[in-house]
Amino acid sequence: MAKGISLHVGVNQTNAPGISVSTLKGCEKDAQAMHNLAHVAGFDAMPPLLGADATFDRVFNTIAGVAPMKAGDIFLFTFSGHGTRRSSDDPTETDGKDESIVLSDKIMTDNVFRRQLWPMFGTGVRVLGISDSCRSGTVLYTLALNLANTPGLFLDDSVVAEIRGTNPFARTSVTLVEDRIKVRFHELPSYQVEAHYHQESAFYSSIREALPKDPPPLEAKLLTLSACADDEVTADGPENSAFTAALLKVWNNGSFQGNYDKFLEAIGAELPNQTPQRNPKAPNVDMNFVNQRPFTI
Per residue in 179-213, pLDDT (tens digit) is 434 567 887 888 999 999 999 999 999 999 999 98
pLDDT at 112 exceeding the cut of 90? yes
Sheet holding 83-87: strands in order across?
83-87, 97-102, 107-109
Nearest in space to 196 (alpha carbons), one of 16, 14, 66, 5: 16
Domain range annotation of the chain: 4-151+185-290
User: What residues contact 186, with CB distance under 8 A and at least 6 apart?
Assistant: 24, 27, 80, 81, 82, 83, 132, 133, 134, 227, 233, 234, 235, 236, 241
Nearest in space to 86 (alpha carbons), one of 198, 243, 212: 198
CA distance 195 to 181: 27
Rounded alpha-carbon distances, angstroms, from residue 171 to 125, 161, 174, 240, 274: 45, 9, 11, 30, 25
pLDDT at 147 exceeding the cut of 90? no
pLDDT for 96: 59
Lowest-confidence segment of 19-23, 64-68, 175-179, 231-235 by average pLDDT: 175-179
Higher pLDDT, 142 or 31: 31
pLDDT for 90: 56
Answer for the pair 155, 187: CB distance below 8 angstroms, yes or no.
yes
- Phi and psi angles of residue 288, each rounded to the nearest 5 degrees, phi first: -65, -35
Higher pLDDT, 233 or 151: 233
- The dihedral region occupied by 131, where left means phi > 0, alpha psi between -120 and 50, and beta the remainder, is beta
Lowest-confidence segment of 54-58, 190-194, 267-271 by average pLDDT: 190-194
Average pLDDT rounded to a whole number, residues 3-11: 98
Domain 4-151+185-290 bears CATH identifier 3.20.20.450: no
